[in-house]
Copies of this chain bind each other. A is one copy, B any other.
């Protein structure tokens, strides 16, 4: 006789039995209102929303973004949701997939700021949550205050789940961004679509079943795909739950377990801080100033401080030495990068480009720029040394002496934030040549008064490009 698990279901559960974890999440996500949001959370949300839209549109020019657009949106289909930075529209499930992938494709999107190493495991929330919130809003309409609230709900849930998992998640081989992002996205979209608490609870069991993503795909286009996949999964769970689909909300408890996570009791303790401690305010999201590996950022900050403080010519430079803590260049594996992508993971290239060009921006990362003879020559003068103290120190040796500059907190972290003007500069850089120029100012204006928008489609239509 067979004992086939696939044919031996446990008792039928239609969502009325609740796991504690799922219920804590749902109590927060369905109970919070826009008026509950602290002003600092609203402000932080607007900064990240503008930044995420800008990097998503810029992502149309990445290989991952172009492949995703070609695979899903460029031929046939159609639908009610905008594929950002293109003339295409798609089913919301497809739009969430493509937009999420594009938004993470350049690794230029926001990420949790450092907080004693703990938040390192929380992944990238905005690129999962925002594309799905806007795809749902695009398809069915939603006012700006609701969309902003939904975005904050998703980011907070991603942050708390990441804290509950701790480092186990990544160490077990699972990529935190999609594992956290699928549930976070579902809760956010449920708020856009007005799903009630009972249905939202069911939806979490369904989202838990969709969460996936393996770290082994880091360094490939599949890393950004993970963000799109989480956006798609969360949106799909919500669409189904709204139609009366059943799931077992206790699957959230198993989701914590199978991804090498914490006991339910530990997770509940963390999740009960939802709405009491806003992660988007502290530790907050770090907005990237440079479109390259985060390990290059503090050295770049120190180098730019040096260039601002002291006047010397790159041609006079004998050596530029970067002093950092051991481990603080772990991901910078390319001493002699040959391609755009390798350049993003090269201490030597990024610092040489900073010295030569006085800036490091999207245009710095083309194969041609990386292979310039003058930059190759300068790269030979860049050295790395290790020191016990935190922070990155840039030391320039010139014939007449040495200059020093020390950077301790990454520019873009909430403790050393980019100004609104700096975010706007990044935004213009990302959107230039893709969106019509008149759209860009209107887009910035729409994000600045996001909570007053009667319909987010006012904003999403500004993300359409005529050509691709």
A-side residues, CB < 8 A to B, are: 1-15, 63-64, 66-68, 70-72, 76-80, 90-91, 93-94, 97, 107, 111-112, 114, 117, 120-121, 123-124, 139, 170, 172-177, 205-206, 208-223, 225-226, 229, 236, 239-240, 242-248, 250-251, 253-255, 257-258, 293-295, 298, 324-325, 327-328, 330-331, 333, 341-342, 345, 390, 392, 410
Contacts and interface: CB of A to CB of B under 8 A. Distances in A.
Contact of A243 (B71, B77, B120): B71
B223 A9 contact: yes
Contact of A216 (B114, B176, B216, B248): B248
A49 B162 CA distance: 43
Sort A-B residue pairs by CB-CB distance and give the 6 closest, nearest first: A9-B219, A9-B218, A8-B331, A212-B212, A67-B243, A1-B328
**Chain copies in complex:** 2
Given A10-B219, A216-B248, A298 B1 contact: yes
Contacts of A123: 6
A205 B212 contact: no
Given A94-B93, A220-B205, A245-B222, A117 B3 contact: yes
A8 B330 contact: yes
Most buried by B among A2, A3, A255: A2
Given A6-B124, A206-B225, A345-B9, A325 B219 contact: no
B9 A331 contact: yes
A230 to B, nearest CB: 11
Given A7-B295, A173-B258, A219 B240 contact: no
Contacts of A111: 4, 6-7
Nearest to A408: B1
6 contacts: A2-B120, A71-B240, A71-B243, A209-B212, A218-B248, A220-B248
Given A176-B6, A218-B10, A220-B13, A139 B240 contact: no
Contact of A220 (B12, B78, B80, B114): B12
Most buried by B among A4, A76, A254, A342: A4
A237 to B, nearest CB: 9
A173 B254 contact: yes
Contact of A222 (B63, B220, B246): B246
A295 to B, nearest CB: 7
A70 B244 CA distance: 10
A292 to B, nearest CB: 10
Given A172-B258, A247-B222, A4 B120 contact: yes
A294 B333 CA distance: 55
Contact of A214 (B64, B66, B208, B392): B208
A240 B325 CA distance: 39
Contacts of A210: 212, 229
B243 A12 contact: no
A66 B240 CA distance: 10
Given A6-B175, A219-B248, 13 more contacts: A1-B295, A3-B327, A6-B123, A9-B345, A11-B333, A12-B341, A64-B245, A72-B91, A76-B79, A91-B91, A173-B257, A209-B222, A221-B240
Contact of A90 (B8, B91, B245, B328): B91
B80 A76 contact: yes
A80 B327 CA distance: 51
B7 A107 contact: yes
Given A3-B120, A124-B6, A246-B221, A93 B67 contact: no
A205 B218 CA distance: 11
Contact of A71 (B239, B327, B331): B239
Nearest to A97: B236
A103 to B, nearest CB: 14
Given A6-B123, A176-B6, A294-B2, A209 B218 contact: no
A93 to B, nearest CB: 6
B243 A70 contact: yes
Contacts of A246: 63-64, 220-222
Nearest to A79: B77
A68 to B, nearest CB: 7
Contacts of A295: 1-2, 7-8
A245 B209 CA distance: 25
Contacts of A208: 214
